[in-house]
Amino acid sequence: MDPIALADGLVLRSATEADIDAIAAMNVDAFGEQDGPDVRTFLAQPATRRTWSVVADGERVVSSIGRIDHALHFDGLNFPAAQIEYVSTDADYQRRGLVAAQIDWHHRWCAEAGIPVQFIGGIPYFYRRFGYGYGLSPPTLFLFDKGSVSAAHDGIAGVLVRDATEGDVDALVRLEALRRTDGLRVVRDANTWHRMVTMCDANKWAHLLVAEAPDGPQGWALVYDHSDEPRAYLLPSVAATAEASTALVRVALDRAGEHLLVGFDSPGSVFGEQLRALGSPFEYGLGYYVRIPDPVAFIELLRPILEERLGESELADASGSLEISLYTTGIAVDYEHGAVTGVRAIEGVEDPTDHDGIGVAPDWFPALALGRWGACELARRVDDVIILRDRKLMDVLFPQRASDVAADF
């Protein structure tokens, strides 16, 4: 996109190679030393620099926001997504609307690129001002007692845990087949793993661990130890066996040192089941931010999934039209004998309770579409999500779905 002139002589533009040192320094100042190598790894790629925004005051970079492109897999359907990340502004330039200008820039770029959904992991409330809602729950979290983990499965034979290398990339790609195919997850390809190995090699706070048995790698785990927090994070990981999972958790605890290790669930996997055997679960209530700017287009994108859900339900023989008010606009889903025959934009209804209808506040639409809790449970939890009719149909089309998406993807 072309540079944009802002107030006070500032310019909003894409990042360049010459900006890398300044962007990395701002992120280190804002979030800690561990972010510097990560930022440098991303910005080493010319394609990523094009999608990374900066605001410059002459030659000085004073604000920056990264965009990381992903492919998502949702109940058998793949589609692109963008993660808005590494939001940082020089202290002398804060409260001037620079973040808002850049987020708008990223949103327009995503629209032009045909990216239908954007994600942010961030502080409470802030990003709701930019059209985001709490669309996903974080995975269940686990705490561990080091002594209990050390005693578990004593004598794990033949499993060696080591740091990953470039030579492991093919095996890491193969291990992706162990992840569940239903629900929501990020697709990790060879490029993802090359970047992750490079990032962890350059960063003493990030550890990509591989559990290797005599017949080859049996799992991996990603540990982030934040330099400015007394916690380390074991992100959603993959293993073929309980023994490999235990070995990975043991080494993750060693790498965490005196810091508290917080493990993220990998729902429906061997690794996730072993976390339940080794740790104590707890829930963290703050969801991840999601923005879906065109709900009608997104429902059209999900149409094959909705049709499969409907066709496999007890409502497979039903026909009709499901109308969902988004208050200022609305969506109609037409269905006939198990087939979704149309998705249409309709006028919104300001007060769905007047018509015993359905209303979903726009910032809660992502939670509905991606199955954070399921439709009726979403209505129970949220004041301006209202389902007064077609409750069974809403739960059929929009059930709760599992997710292993974590803030760092």
**Domains and their CATH numbers in the chain:** 4-115 (3.40.630.30), 141-282 (3.40.630.30), 291-397 (3.30.1050.10)
Q: What is the pLDDT of residue 153?
A: 60
Q: Please say whether the beta carbons of 43 and 80 come within 8 A.
A: no
pLDDT at 355: 86
Tell me, what's the pLDDT at 243? 93
Predicted model pTM: 0.94
* Closest CA relative to residue 398, chosen from 322, 341, 293: 322
Residues with Cβ within 8 Å of 241's Cβ and at least 6 positions away in sequence, in order, are: 218, 219, 270
The CA distance from 57 to 63, in Å, is 9
Question: What residue ranges of the chain have pLDDT lower than 70?
Answer: 153-157, 407-409
Sheet order of strands, 216-225 included = 160-163, 206-213, 216-225, 231-239, 260-264, 141-144, 279-282
Helix (H) or strand (E) holding 135: strand 133-136
Look at residue 74 in the predicted model and tell me its pLDDT: 97
Are 84 and 53 in contact by the 8 Å Cβ rule? The answer is no
Query: 134-145: b or e for each residue (b if 16 or more CB lie within 10 Å)?
Result: bbbbbbbbbebe
**CA atoms of 287 and 137, how far apart (whole Å):** 5
- Predicted local confidence at residue 150, as pLDDT: 83
8 CB-contact burial (10 Å; exposed 0-12 / middle 13-18 / buried 19+) = exposed
Show the tokens assigned to 176: 């992706």
Write down the pLDDT at residue 228: 78
Cβ contact 53:13 at 8 Å: yes
State residue 409's pLDDT score: 62
**C-alpha distance from residue 313 to each of 37, 318, 319, 388, 394 (Å):** 49, 10, 13, 20, 12
**pLDDT value for 217:** 96
CA pair distance 40, 24, nearest whole angstrom = 6
Q: Specify the pLDDT at position 158.
A: 81
Q: Residues in the chain, how many?
A: 409
Check residue 223 and give left, alpha or beta (phi > 0: left; psi -120 to 50: alpha): beta
Contact 288, 119 (CB under 8 A): yes
Picking from 230, 240, 122, 89, the residue whose alpha carbon sits closest to that of residue 179 is 240
Backbone angles phi, psi at 208, to 5 degrees: -100, 105
